[in-house]
Amino acid sequence: MQETFVDPNQFKSFLKMVHGCLALKNDLTFFNGVDFLVNIPSKHLSDSIIKTSTPHYSAADVLISKSKIEAEVTK
pLDDT digits (tens, 9 = 90+) for 43-74: 888 888 766 676 777 778 878 887 877 776 66
For residue 38, the model assigns a pLDDT of: 86
Q: Which residues of 18-31 are buried (b: 16+ CB within 10 A; e: fewer)?
A: eeebeeeeeebeee
Q: Is the model more confident about 20 or about 1?
A: 20
DSSP secondary structure letters along the chain: -----SSHHHHHHHHHHHHHHHHHT--EEEE-SSS-EEEE-HHHHHHHS---------HHHHHHHHHHHHHHHH-
pTM of the model: 0.53
For residue 61, the model assigns a pLDDT of: 80
